[in-house]
Amino acid sequence: MGTENGPVCPEHTSEVRMMLRTLHSDQSVPDQVLGVYACPECDHERRIPIDTSRRGGGSGPGREGRA
C-alpha cells in the first residue's frame, strides 16, 4: 500500500503521509482490524481501526465453494 491513503504524521509541520506497516486482528472484535501506520521520515507509529464488515451486501464470492 502506498502513502496516498495513510494518515498524516502529527510529528511534522508539513504534510507527511504515514505508510501501512502491519495489520493486527483481535478475535473479540472480528469485524475490525488494526492497521499500524509508520512515518517514513521519523518512524512514528499510529494504530488505526479498519472496519472489515461487509455492510450493504458487498460484491464478490464468499468463502463457500473455495478449495
Residue range 2-41, pLDDT digits in tens: 556 789 999 998 899 999 999 998 888 878 899 999 999 9
Phi, psi of 35 (to 5 degrees): -95, 125
pLDDT of residue 8: 93
**Cα-only R_g, the chain:** 15
Helices first, then strands: H and E counts in the chain: 0, 3
* Domain coordinates in residue numbering, the chain: 1-52
pLDDT of residue 4: 66
Res. 57: pLDDT tops 90: no
Res. 62: pLDDT tops 60: no
CA 45 – CA 21 distance, rounded (Å): 9
Contact call for residues 41 and 17 (beta carbons, < 8 A):
no
Please count the other Cβ atoms lying within 10 Å of the Cβ belonging to residue 53: 9
pTM: 0.64
